[in-house]
Copies of this chain bind each other. A is one copy, B any other.
Amino acid sequence: MNKKLPVLAPGATIGILGGGQLGRMLALAAAELGLKCHIYAPEMDSCAFDVSAAQTCAAYEDEAALAKFADAVDVVTYEFENIPAATAKFLWSRKPVFPDPSVLETTQDRIVEKTFVNRLGIATPKFAAVDSIATLKQAVAGIGTPSVLKTRRLGYDGKGQATIKRAEEAEAAFASIGSAPSILEQFVPFRREVSVVAARGRDGKVVAFDTTENLHRDHILHKSRVPARMPDALGGQAIVIATKIAEALNYVGVLAVEMFVLDESGKLKLLVNEIAPRVHNSGHWTMDGATASQFEQHIRAVAGWPLAKPRRLGNVEMTNLIGAEANDWEKLAAEPGACVHLYGKGEARAGRKMGHVTRITKDTESIIR
């Protein structure tokens, strides 16, 4: 369905699968360009519903609802990469879907994803497939410890992961993730975690934002900062890697590639950790810190518009507001220069991304805490 699709004119409707904060920020960006959004999400309290022209609250398996949704929109995209492949294919048979559902097949399985990346000549941490205690023991023997056992599918924000520090912890780790089909990954003593958020248009052009440095807390993104503390040339190399991946996937839209910066006896090296086939938390800084955001870029790409050429507005730091941290909104709202974003979610549950705050300065070093 993705051939010779006309450019979407203002007034057209973009269907978005997923109703969380990413869908919400996509809908806000689409509105600025005169495009309507129709959000499809199973959760009644989806925060993207509040800013969209139309809403469908139904399960991803509900084919009647999906068919009606497809009829109501001009193009389909997603804010959430764990859409069932069958859902994406069902929609694809009726309306253009960007990025192509084949991308999900690659990125929904950590083994398939890393194998794909390696085939492009791009390094990843060492890994092995695990589907039993026997294969796990073999993998631990080959990769060594410490290493990380992760479910092949449906993991995010550290969910479905277990660290194996010593070989004898292997069985317990496997049990802790429900003995699901898994991947054992080498634990990488990285110096930095970075990501590249890049957009690829329907015309094949790629525009990447500056390589971003990410700091995690409890496996959840805590802060992003731009520029990343790394040599410019290495930041450029990260962009080359993300571009190669976007092209190999024949990707349309925004994707994020997470990487580790490794120091091998003084020589810095990049390893790809993960591909997120969607707008990404580490690109939220672009809303305030660049002349066009990742959300605008994604909408432009899926609508067939030319991509913007964003300019960064300074040194930028984005801090997530996780769970109760969002209760500080009054203090943050009073902070001069702080750009506060709240996602309109109800309950500030532990670990839930409730909002973020962006600070733009000329001196990044001084504001990292």
A10 within 8 A of B: yes
Which residues of B lie under 8 Å from residue A10 when comparing CB positions?
326, 329, 342, 344, 355
- Report yes or no: B344 in contact with A11, Cβ–Cβ below 8 A: yes
CB distance from A342 to the nearest CB of B (A): 3
Which residues of B lie under 8 Å from residue A355 when comparing CB positions?
10, 34
Interface size class of A (residues with CB under 8 A): 35 or more
Residue of B nearest to A342 (CB): B34
The B-contacting residues of A in range 22-66, CB under 8 angstroms, are: 24, 27-28, 31-36, 49-53
CA A311 to CA B333, docked complex, whole Å: 15
Q: Chain A 336-366, CB within 8 Å of chain B: the 1/0 string? A: 1101111111100000000100001000000
Residue of B nearest to A338 (CB): B308
A155 within 8 A of B: no
Which residues of B lie under 8 Å from residue A36 when comparing CB positions?
50, 344
Residue of B nearest to A339 (CB): B291
A81 within 8 A of B: no
CA A156 to CA B326, docked complex, whole Å: 42
Which residues of B lie under 8 Å from residue A336 when comparing CB positions?
308-309
- Report yes or no: B333 in contact with A300, Cβ–Cβ below 8 A: yes
The B-contacting residues of A in range 1-30, CB under 8 angstroms, are: 7, 9-11, 24, 27-28
Q: Supply 29 A–B pairs (Cβ within 8 Å), ascending by A.
A: A7-B330, A11-B344, A11-B346, A24-B31, A27-B51, A28-B28, A28-B32, A28-B51, A32-B340, A32-B341, A33-B333, A33-B340, A33-B341, A34-B341, A34-B342, A34-B344, A34-B355, A35-B344, A36-B50, A36-B344, A50-B52, A51-B51, A291-B339, A292-B339, A300-B333, A305-B330, A309-B336, A311-B337, A313-B313
Give A contacts to B, CB under 8 Å.
7, 9-11, 24, 27-28, 31-36, 49-53, 288, 291-292, 300, 305-306, 308-309, 311, 313, 326, 329-330, 333-334, 336-337, 339-346, 355, 360
